[in-house]
Structure 1
Amino acid sequence: MTPQRHQRTVESADGTLLNVETTGPDDGPVLVLVHGWTCATPFWAPVVNRLPRHVRTVMYDQRGHGSSARPATAAGYSTTALADDLCAVLEAAVPAGTPAVLAGHSMGGMTIMSASRRPAVRDRAAAAALISTGSSRLPHTSTVLPLGPDDSAFRAAVHRAALGAPLPLGPRTPLTRAAIRYITMAPGADRRMKDVTARLVHAMHPVARARWGTVLGTLEADEGLRALDVPAAVVHGTRDRLIPFPHAPRTAGLLPDCRTLVEIPGTGHMTPLEAPDRVAAVLTDLIDAHLPGPASPGTANGKASRSGKAAKAKRTQEAGA
């Protein structure tokens, strides 16, 4: 049974209006889910449906995606804007001092990296999950269009041009669905999840898609990743073409406190759709280990929660120093 959702609108720093959705009990441990490029809150449904019912989830449509507004100008597309939006959502939906697990897929992970130094994040983040994401040199490593040597300037230029192309996708057809599947998912992915992905990508305005693609093509978020000093899990599919698997160990190595690197064999870029059981299990483990609240069977939730609170208090003191 799908948990009941509540919707609200939150205004970001520049006035952009964001669609925010929550599920679960008001007093449950909080999980904040941040989706990636060309997606929207429905992207998380297979994962949310597999989480314990006592978990409270906070999701939002990134600006230019789903039911959130498109920025008025090109200046509204930036990693700073992504960080502003996450902070606005946290301040509106997660009371100050409330510990939360932050989980981001693809551009959602980059959002968390970009906001890692912000007080709104440091006051609330007890742990983080970075799913199918990377912090820099994305067009150099992508294998969507494997032209030229690996990590070459030519390959990077081709992928940057493709990311930033504001081309309308037209109607959903077997051809466009196959192209989207090739780019985002591994062979053998569930047909229903292929259809979900195609609907999400087709629903995005081509200008917004292109402008965010341009941001991804020039992403430099290594320093934000190094500042994300909370217990973290890295999750990645082995057949990811958009952000290939070697980004995962690199991300884990740059994190100050990576606790686990979860490799999901045979999955592409859309891991929460391709392997929702595995992703939900990773998030549940983080919740049980680092948030107060009912524990899943066999976990020592209370002890881990106290250690998570102590670490958060230390980070808050350091941020104010």
Structure 2
Amino acid sequence: MAAQTASVSHGPRATPGHHPSRAADPDVEGVATRGDVRIAWAVYGDHHDASVPTVVLVPTWSIVPSRFWKLQVGYLARHFRVVTFDGRGSGASSRPAGAAAYTDTEYAADLLAVLDATSTDAPVLVTLSCGAAWAVHHAARHPSRVRGIVAIAPSCGLDVATPGRDEVPWDRPLDTTHGWAKYNKHYWLGGGYDDFVDFFFRRMFPEPHSTKQIEDCVGWAHEITPSVLADTTAGRLGCDGAVCESIVPLTRDVTCPVLVVHGSDDRIRPLAFGERLAELTRGSLVVLDGAGHGPPARDPVKTNHLIRSFVERVAGPSGAPRVEGPVVIPSASSVGSAVDADRSRTGPADDGRAAPTRVAGAGAADALVRRTWTRARNRRRRVLYLSSPIGLGHAQRDVAIAAALRERRPDLEIDWLAQHPVTRVLAQHGERVHPASAWLRNESGHVEHEAGEHDLHAFQAIRHMDEILVHNFMVFSDVVEGGDYDLVVGDEAWDVDYFLHENPELKRFAFAWMTDFVGWLPMPDGGAHEAALTADYNAEMIEQRARFARVRDRSVFVGSPDDVVDQPFGPDLPSIRSWTAANFSFAGYVTGFDPAAAAVEAPAVRAELGVGPDERLCVVTVGGSGVGVPMLRRVLDAVPTARALAPDLRFVVVAGPRIDPASLPAPEGATVLGYVPDLYRLSAACDVAVVQGGLTTCMELTALRKPFVYVPLRHHFEQTFHVRSRLDRYEAGRHLPYEEAIDPDGLAEAIAKEASREVAYRPVETDGAARAADLLADLV
């Protein structure tokens, strides 16, 4: 197909909608058309500044779409303008028939068409695998339209042998399907496609614990047909009438800077490919020792840093603010409602808050930027606190721990890198929210997106949140790079703990990890597959801790040794309880409030709610996310029956910060509230409660010695196993499966019975915040 002038048809929406599970949303989407082939593209991080460099994430082999770059897009779009597009034969782009439609020259012409369609002059091209050949074609023929090339794991068009693979013909029938014989047109078209895909991606990701990367790529490979992949391969190899052109002669005409990144354990194409391309293009080579063929997916933090460093070297500084040295941060109270917003954007806040100091490009104003370096002896003690946004319990206990820590270190400065709804609690307590918090993608929004009717597969939800976790870690990495923090406290900040163990060289501060559960556990209906996945995740964590014990200076379990489930991490893995006892310090439970003082305030709270002395109050709450809407509706449906059984019952239903109370019905005898600060005050005032199975709310009620019904989210392994085990130890609460709560009569009966029950719970620790602060104080 001859190259034609690109025409552009913009996507169906000028301002694309927010996707809660993505690390970034495109600013604009469109289609570049060459003949009858449509190439779908997207632009992210449009900084509206012509001096900001553009990065084009070039397609790879059509077996995966541009979504492969999901762990790069969010971070790079914060610093640069980013263009992605689906290569022909993949994603939302056309799938023309025949090998001739898929030659390297066609892909290179598509690249040029996308540059024209997106008004991109001279970008930095970032490639993986086959994409390197297309970048070389483009750079050789259009040198003025490229600033540089980052070629990751180049694999095509070079005069380098791949032992074991090159000897196997792709286009002839074979009498074996062993090894690289699976890489065969006739095997794909004859029913062996699934087997090939599984084989290929297991070779692509030889690194241990790569289940998610393999799963993603296998899924993408099934978005196209075997015949399309056969055409794309024939076009690249010069089969079925296509003309294959080596890129070796073209490299002489590549004049832009080139960075080649290649894994030493690449089992798709050996390191010699990367070495040869670097030699031919007079470029630089970075060898990732122990890495396979997919560093953008398997080593995203290192890959992202390499890309950014190269782009800034060849195309100038980024367009995003950097965090340099001490930053003036407004108090949360002065921010007001600004920090309440769901900060799901990729850019800095536009609400008037102080932004980090910008290190701008090459303009004259850049010389006016003032920087200050403070000698270590003159620095105040600084802590960066990270509190999980999945629920509000972490925020409540973390604020209490921070207050206790300040008592021990009066000169302490604490900044919070936090998301909604945590920011609601922080604003209430006048804590300082770091302005870079605006760059975080919201984890609660992702969880809500993953949930069904009172159903949240928590383990899979975390797995599916990989691009958000990478994005948020990169924000954290930028913050600590210039923040001079003495201590980072991560309360279930999964991204920070995981990627610091994967990139321990980035640790430049004391690090304390806090959690109230240890160990991923499979749900029974997940079968052997889920059991294997959870065991693999647990094994990776155990191996990380054994190899890099220095990453965590303190591991704090919020609870006691007996609160840890007594189950194995998986086959041939240790007991969760024994391993946790050997690797954690125990703070006891942290309520974040004084139960005795809350009991004293209870009569006043009841009076504020209009609850009479002859009435009993039932409080219903489902935590800080929007997952609990179905449960709230079930309880509200049961109110009339419950009041028929117990006429003195009054209901107060708390929707929380992410559910609109106006969206819920309010039957007689029930009041629906929105976000309630210090929810424990309401719990202290109640006579009975109905809650989900979240640990914080259940333990609040246990500490207050209140009868309650708890209905764990289905498929939520933490609520199903970890929380229930702890509540059983305290002999607290009445467990009610959601299947039974669906029946209004059954739910009403459970509430009425629990309201009349005398409780005899084990006592809950009251000094947890102080004990946790003692464990942290010597780190700062």
Relative to the length of structure 2, the TM-score reads: 0.34
Map of 1:158 onto structure 2: 169
1:159-198 mapped onto 2 (5 Å cutoff): 162-165=183-186, 167=188, 178-198=198-218
8 Å contact 1:166–1:206 — kept in the other structure?
A: no
Q: 1:229 Cα shift?
A: 1.1
In structure 2, C-alpha distance between the alignment counterparts of 1:194 and 1:92, rounded to whole Å: 33
Match of 2:70, SS state, is helix
Equivalent pairs counted in the alignment come to: 285
8 Å contact 1:128–1:233 — kept in the other structure?
A: yes
Structure 2 residue 68 is the aligned partner of structure 1 residue 8: no
Map of 2:78 onto structure 1: 53
After superposing the two structures, state which structure 1 stretch, 195-204 or 157-166, moved more: 157-166
Structure 2 residue 157 is the aligned partner of structure 1 residue 136: yes
Map of 1:223 onto structure 2: 249
| Residues 91-110 of structure 1: per-residue CA shift (max 9 Å, x gap) | 11134xx3311111111111
After superposing the two structures, state which structure 1 stretch, 237-246 or 110-119, moved more: 110-119
| Residues 131-166 of structure 1: per-residue CA shift (max 9 Å, x gap) | 11145357x7335xx27xxxxxxx434356535447
Q: 291, 294, 300: which is aligned to 2:319?
A: 294
Amino acid at match of 2:270: P
In structure 2, C-alpha distance between the alignment counterparts of 1:208 and 1:276, rounded to whole Å: 29
8 Å contact 1:235–1:264 — kept in the other structure?
A: yes
- Inter-CA distance 171–76: structure 2 relative to 1 (3 Å threshold): closer
Match of 1:188, SS state, is coil
In structure 1, C-alpha distance between the alignment counterparts of 2:130 and 2:186, rounded to whole Å: 17
8 Å contact 2:251–2:281 — kept in the other structure?
A: yes
In structure 1, C-alpha distance between the alignment counterparts of 2:87 and 2:93, rounded to whole Å: 7
1:29-44 mapped onto 2 (5 Å cutoff): 29-37=53-61, 38-44=63-69
Q: 1:168 Cα shift?
A: 5.0
Structure 2 residue 89 is the aligned partner of structure 1 residue 64: yes
Q: 1:204 Cα shift?
A: 2.1
Larger RCO of the pair (alpha carbons < 8 Å, separation 6+) = 1
Q: 1:170 Cα shift?
A: 6.8
Q: 1:180 Cα shift?
A: 3.3
- Inter-CA distance 275–56: structure 2 relative to 1 (3 Å threshold): same
In structure 2, C-alpha distance between the alignment counterparts of 1:24 and 1:294, rounded to whole Å: 9
After superposing the two structures, state which structure 1 stretch, 69-78 or 79-88, moved more: 69-78
Match of 2:76, SS state, is coil
Map of 1:113 onto structure 2: 136
Larger Rg: 2
Q: 1:111 Cα shift?
A: 0.8
Q: 1:130 Cα shift?
A: 0.8
Map of 1:124 onto structure 2: 145
8 Å contact 1:33–1:57 — kept in the other structure?
A: yes
Q: 1:43 Cα shift?
A: 0.1
| Residues 168-194 of structure 1: per-residue CA shift (max 9 Å, x gap) | 597998x66742333321131432111
- Inter-CA distance 67–166: structure 2 relative to 1 (3 Å threshold): farther
- Inter-CA distance 253–297: structure 2 relative to 1 (3 Å threshold): farther
In structure 1, C-alpha distance between the alignment counterparts of 2:200 and 2:258, rounded to whole Å: 30
Q: 1:117 Cα shift?
A: 2.8
In structure 2, C-alpha distance between the alignment counterparts of 1:105 and 1:253, rounded to whole Å: 18
Q: 1:59 Cα shift?
A: 0.8
Map of 2:231 onto structure 1: 211
Q: 1:65 Cα shift?
A: 1.1
Amino acid at match of 2:235: V
Aligned-residue CA RMSD in angstroms? Answer: 2.9
| Residues 248-286 of structure 1: per-residue CA shift (max 9 Å, x gap) | 111110004x1x211112221122111111221111012
In structure 1, C-alpha distance between the alignment counterparts of 2:113 and 2:278, rounded to whole Å: 27
8 Å contact 1:163–1:214 — kept in the other structure?
A: no
- Inter-CA distance 225–10: structure 2 relative to 1 (3 Å threshold): same
In structure 2, C-alpha distance between the alignment counterparts of 1:177 and 1:216, rounded to whole Å: 18
- Inter-CA distance 201–285: structure 2 relative to 1 (3 Å threshold): same
8 Å contact 1:234–1:252 — kept in the other structure?
A: yes
Q: 215, 235, 244: which is aligned to 2:261?
A: 235
- Inter-CA distance 169–262: structure 2 relative to 1 (3 Å threshold): farther
Map of 2:118 onto structure 1: 93
- Inter-CA distance 253–78: structure 2 relative to 1 (3 Å threshold): same
In structure 2, C-alpha distance between the alignment counterparts of 1:278 and 1:169, rounded to whole Å: 40
- Inter-CA distance 234–297: structure 2 relative to 1 (3 Å threshold): farther
Map of 2:417 onto structure 1: none
8 Å contact 1:35–1:104 — kept in the other structure?
A: yes
Structure 2 residue 280 is the aligned partner of structure 1 residue 271: no
| Residues 229-254 of structure 1: per-residue CA shift (max 9 Å, x gap) | 10110011111122111111111100
Relative to the length of structure 1, the TM-score reads: 0.78
Amino acid at match of 2:315: L
Match of 2:255, SS state, is coil
Q: 1:72 Cα shift?
A: 3.9
In structure 2, C-alpha distance between the alignment counterparts of 1:83 and 1:274, rounded to whole Å: 27
- Inter-CA distance 195–157: structure 2 relative to 1 (3 Å threshold): closer
- Inter-CA distance 80–221: structure 2 relative to 1 (3 Å threshold): same
8 Å contact 2:130–2:156 — kept in the other structure?
A: no
Q: 1:17 Cα shift?
A: 0.6
8 Å contact 1:163–1:217 — kept in the other structure?
A: no
8 Å contact 1:131–1:234 — kept in the other structure?
A: yes
After superposing the two structures, state which structure 1 stretch, 157-166 or 65-74, moved more: 157-166
Map of 2:100 onto structure 1: 75
In structure 2, C-alpha distance between the alignment counterparts of 1:171 and 1:71, rounded to whole Å: 23
Q: 1:15 Cα shift?
A: 3.0
Structure 2 residue 301 is the aligned partner of structure 1 residue 246: no
Amino acid at match of 1:196: D
In structure 1, C-alpha distance between the alignment counterparts of 2:154 and 2:323, rounded to whole Å: 30
In structure 2, C-alpha distance between the alignment counterparts of 1:301 and 1:189, rounded to whole Å: 40
8 Å contact 1:8–1:20 — kept in the other structure?
A: yes
After superposing the two structures, state which structure 1 stretch, 75-84 or 49-58, moved more: 49-58
8 Å contact 2:97–2:228 — kept in the other structure?
A: no
Identity of aligned residues (%): 23
Amino acid at match of 1:58: V
- Inter-CA distance 160–34: structure 2 relative to 1 (3 Å threshold): farther
8 Å contact 1:24–1:57 — kept in the other structure?
A: yes
Map of 2:668 onto structure 1: none
In structure 1, C-alpha distance between the alignment counterparts of 2:113 and 2:86, rounded to whole Å: 12
- Ranges in structure 1 where 5+ consecutive residues have no aligned partner: 148-154, 304-321
8 Å contact 2:99–2:235 — kept in the other structure?
A: no
